[in-house]
Every structure is written in structure tokens, then in C-alpha cells.
Amino acid sequence: MAGVISRWRPVGLVGAILGVLLVASPARGQAIVQGTVVDPQGQPVVGATVRIVSDGSNQTFELQTDDKGEYFQIGLPPGPYTINVSKDNLSASGPVNASTGRPARSNFTLVPSEGVDEAVADALKGLIAEANAASQAGDHATAIAKYTELAAQLPSCADCYENIGRQHIALKDYAAAETAFKQAISADPNHAAAYNGLANVYNAQKKFDLAADASAKAVEIGGGAAGGADADSLYNQGVVAWNAGRPEEARGHFESAITANPNHGPSHFQLAMALVNAGSLPEAKAEFEAYLKIAPQGQFAEQATAMIAAIP
């Protein structure tokens, strides 16, 4: 999910800053896996059992989906895992590679494991696994093809369309991404992640009014966090405010995103930029340092390092 900041008001210490892309980042040395589980009709599955098994050590983490069909596991050692999800006679599985660079997201559409043709069920599970694996490997074209094939068989699978949109964003095909996110919303009008995706698409195209509307809708829905919007939604709100020339409002959103997820690296980075813009250099330096602790190899690491060196 990527938000793009188009302009800022620099102080004399620094020059223009490159546009930034939205990437959530976990704490150094830990990995996060999260995702959504839906049934064949695209409806959230509450109370599904999610088993995250390390491929290297067979260490297992087990949890259940919440009332939105979502799961969130923090504190995983980095490495490859297999996720098995089940409830009643529905199940799904797939690989995921957890790293400290950003949370690994793996969404699942459960398919019947009993009472249907076994070959059909196995084919759907295999297709889901192939789509997820291609996505994790950065093979966007293959992932799009697999998720599209899956959506054709499960037309109500909002997560399928959302994943298609994510792949198109990675390829900077914003028109196709917009279409996919709108298909996800058509399948599930309360799909906050799809609205976040639209906000990212519109920000990238500098359609800031549309981005603001989409981001506000994601926040209204809740964005997946208990009791309110998630860090990605709040970050997008900050991006929208910044692009609209409201730096103080943007700063508030970045601070709220950090409150929602203290390990949201891009919010630390952009808060630091807002503090530089305001002339609060010691506070900005602390935020740049916080970003580097979270994402020492992150996409903003070079910029953050240069800014720290430039601040007395």
C-alpha cells in the first residue's frame, strides 16, 4: 500500500525530499504476519484457527481470526512459514516469508475440505498457494494471473481483487489497480484495505481529492485496528493532508499512526520530515533514528542517514 507525498516546505538545512511509498515495518529482529480470512462467498470468517508453522524448525504459532476475519501475529523469528487456516469444513493453506523489513500479509479464501469433489477443493487450494507464493516472490504478473483465475472461480472474493490491485500498484499500472480495488469494494463494501489501495492509487496520480475521500472511507470503516483506524489508514490521511498543504494536520496523523503501531516505519520517517519542516531538529533526528532502528535496510534508510548526518 503506497502513499506518495508530492511536496513539502524545506528549511535551509535540507533539500527536496523524494516521494515516499507506504510500507509498514515491524521491530528490528522480529517479524509480523497478518491477513484476512474469508469464506467462498467473500464474507469474513470469525474464529478461524490460524496455525503459522516455521518451515525450518516446525515451531508453531496458533491464533484465531477476530470479528472482522483478521489475524495478526507479532514476534516471529524471520524466515519462511506455512500458514494453515481452518474452520468447520473449510480450510486453506499457503507459504509466507516473514522478514523484519515489513509485515508479511497473507490473505486466505477458505474452500470446502469435505462434502465437495476433492479434486476441485485441491485445485482451489493449490491456486491460492500459487498466487500467494508468486506475490511473496515479487512475481507480480504471475500473481495477477493466479488471483484473477481464483476470482473467476470465487466471484465474491474481495481479497482476490485487492491482491490484484496490490500487484498492479507494484507494477505502477494505476488504472488496472483502481479497477481491481473497485471490484474488491463491489464484492465487499466494507473492505477497508481496498479503500486504502484506492487512496494509494490516487495519491500516486496526484488526484488528492479522490485520495482524501478514499482514505476517509478506510478510516470510517476502521482499517482493521481494534477500536479505530490502523496505521496504514492514518498514514494515508497524513499523506493526503501533506499533499493538500496542511503540514500540522499531517503531523498529527503521522503521530496517530505511530500510536496505533509504534513500529510503523514510514510514519516515523515522515514525522521526522514534518519536524524538519517545522524547524524541530532534535525531535526530527530522534524520529530518523527510530526509523533506522525499525528498518535499517528500508527504502528510506539512505535518506534518513543523510538527514541525521546533516542535523547538528
Task: pLDDT tens for the chain, 312 residues: list them.
Answer: 444 433 333 333 332 222 232 233 333 346 788 888 888 767 789 999 999 998 877 788 999 998 888 998 888 888 888 899 988 878 888 888 887 656 778 888 887 765 445 666 667 777 777 888 888 788 999 999 998 988 888 777 788 898 899 999 989 999 999 999 999 999 888 888 889 889 889 988 888 889 888 988 887 776 444 334 577 778 888 888 887 788 888 899 899 889 888 888 889 999 999 998 888 999 999 999 999 998 888 778 899 999 999 988
CB atoms within 10 A of CB 244: 15
Q: What is the chain's alpha carbon radius of gyration, rounded to the nearest angstrom?
A: 20
Cα 110 from chain centroid? 21
How high is the pLDDT of residue 306? 92
Q: Which grid cell sits at 77?
A: 523469528
Phi, psi values for residue 57, rounded to 5°: -120, -5
Q: Any idea what the Cα angle at residue 225 is, between residues 96 and 263, rounded to 5°?
A: 65
How high is the pLDDT of residue 227? 37
How high is the pLDDT of residue 58? 73
Cα 280 from chain centroid? 30
Could you tell me if 34 and 73 are in contact, meaning their C-beta atoms sit under 8 angstroms apart?
yes
Torsion from C-alpha of 217, 240, 174, 161, nearest 10 degrees: -30
Buried/exposed 182-209: b ≥16 CB within 10 Å, e otherwise: bbbbebbeebbbbbbbbbbbbbbeebbe
Element spanning 129, H or E? helix 118-136
**Whose CA is closest to 62, among 77, 84, 78, 44?**
84
Please tell me what DSSP assigns to residue 110. Answer: -
Question: What are the distances in angstroms from CA 283 to CA 235, 237, 273, 308?
Answer: 19, 22, 10, 11
How high is the pLDDT of residue 122? 66
**Whose CA is closest to 182, among 200, 202, 206, 158?**
158
- Whether domain 31-310 has CATH 1.25.40.10: the reply is yes
